[in-house]
Amino acid sequence: MPDPLTPEQRHRCMSHIRSRNTKPELKVRQWLWQRGYRYRLNVRSVPGKPDVVLRRYRTAIFVNGCFWHGHSGCPKFRMPKSNVDFWQAKISRNRERDQQNYQILLQNGWQVIVVWECQLTPARFEHTMWEVELALNRNFLAINNKPRSYTLPDEESLPMAAEPEETYGNANTD
| Contact yes or no for 9/2 (Cβ under 8 A) | no
Query: Among residues 32, 37, 71, 115, which is the contact residue for Zn ion, using CB under 5 A?
Result: 71
CB of 83 to Zn ion, least distance (A): 21
CB of 100 to Zn ion, least distance (A): 21
| Beta strand extents in 8-163 (DSSP E only) | 40-41, 52-54, 59-64, 111-116
Q: Which is nearer to Zn ion, 40 or 124 (CB)?
A: 124
CB of 81 to Zn ion, least distance (A): 19
Please tell me the count of residues contacting Zn ion according to CB under 5 A.
6
How far apart CA 25 and CA 41 sit, in angstroms, is 10
Query: Among residues 91, 114, 118, 142, which is the contact residue for Zn ion, using CB under 5 A?
Result: 118
Site for Zn ion in 73-92 (CB under 5 A): 74, 76
Sign of CA dihedral 154, 155, 160, 165: positive
Burial of 171 (0-12, 13-18, 19+ CB in 10 A): exposed
Q: Which is nearer to Zn ion, 43 or 118 (CB)?
A: 118
Q: Which residues contact 11 (CB under 8 A, 6 or more apart)?
A: none
Q: Which is nearer to Zn ion, 29 or 69 (CB)?
A: 69
Give the range of 32-40, 72-80, 81-89, 120-128 binding Zn ion by CB under 5 A: 72-80
Site for Zn ion in 39-68 (CB under 5 A): 66
Question: Taking each helix axis from N to C terminus, what angle separates 122-144 and 23-34, rounded to the nearest 10 degrees?
Answer: 50
3-class SS of residue 19: coil
Give the range of 10-18, 70-78, 95-103, 148-156 binding Zn ion by CB under 5 A: 70-78
Sign of CA dihedral 53, 58, 63, 67: positive
Q: Is 27 in the site for Zn ion (CB under 5 A)?
A: no
Residues near Zn ion (CB under 5 A) are 66, 71, 74, 76, 116, 118
